[in-house]
Structure 1
């Protein structure tokens, strides 16, 4: 009986190492949120082993939702996406509202300048826009995740 429990402990330790290794492989490619890692690992491992392994990674500073959120906001905003879209994507990836409030600011000046830059790229630097062009730009920027205040400011 004692032999079985030692064997079971060894197997559990091995399984936790496997989970840790799989999580580290994912983290080596890019930052992941805790929920995103958990979701991906559930396809291969039982949930009770995942939680222990992921908590160890968090405790060791190898996985951080804050670092993930900061990197994600930076990356997506540099690709021309607005705050509403970035917020929705982060919520889908399991990031808490508190973290979003710390890293994503709707009234940041960069959103206004980015919306204006994308407008100029889309239709050129025309002074007077036709109603058709205004709607085209409005829809484009709204799909990119910009708020109406950003869009209206760049349309003047």
Structure 2
């Protein structure tokens, strides 16, 4: 594929949403040579149309309310974002992970587990969302008493 057509395709992808460099490289791979793709991506980076840091911040902003730090870190790493950029995006998030875990839990369950089996189910759900085991125990142990709320 010609360089201008490759550049147009890359711009169409970027117009839809932010992409990491690695994501965009994978999407463009069937349409050009490695040298042409690298050239286009380098130019987009120079023009500040492509930024892994901006992608990581947008990802955390968009998904942060529903997922824990571990899940966000894994998702960004699997999309080719550098560990330093991931750490910066997560540090800049500013959200309290415990509060996010409580919010996610309340949205799905809303009431305390009645037995060990239900406790395990709720814990697995939170774990799948990327929250740590210590935080999960804390959230499921300190569920607010509904009768105290008035």
* TM-score computed with the length of structure 1 as normaliser: 0.82
How many aligned positions are there? 139
Task: Spell out the pairing of 1:143-154 with structure 2 (5 A cutoff).
Answer: 143-154=128-139
Q: Return the alpha-carbon distance in structure 2 between the equivalents of residues 26 and 99 of structure 1.
A: 21
1:138 corresponds in structure 2 to: 123
Shift of 1:155: 1.4
CA deviation digits over 1:19-73, x for unaligned, max 9?
A: 1111101000000000110111011111110101110100110111011000011
Residue matched to 1:98: 84
> Rg larger in 1 or in 2?
1
Q: Distance in 2 between matches of 1:149 and 1:100?
A: 22
Alignment match of 1:58 (pick from 31, 45, 53) = 45
Map of 1:10-21 to 2, 5 A cutoff? Answer: 15-21=2-8
Supply the distance in 2 between the matched residues of 1:95 and 1:118 (Cα, whole angstroms): 26
Deviation at 1:109, TM superposition (A): 5.3
Which of 37, 62, 73 is 1:87 aligned to? 73
Return the offset for 1:75: 0.9
Give the C-alpha shift of residue 18 in structure 1: 1.5
User: Could you tell me how far 1:131 is from its partner in structure 2?
Assistant: 1.7
Matched, 1:115 2:108: no
Instruction: Report deviation, 1:85.
Output: 1.4
Q: Is 1:26 matched with 2:13?
A: yes
Task: Determine the structure 2 residue equivalent to 1:5.
Answer: none
Correspondent of 1:47 among 34, 39, 42: 34
Moved over 3 A (4+): none
Query: What is the Cα deviation at residue 88 of structure 1?
Result: 1.1
- Cα RMSD for the two superposed structures: 1.7
In the other structure, the counterpart of 2:145 is none
1:129 shift after superposition:
4.2
Q: When the two structures are superposed, what TM-score results if normalisation uses the length of structure 2?
A: 0.85
Matched, 1:75 2:62: yes
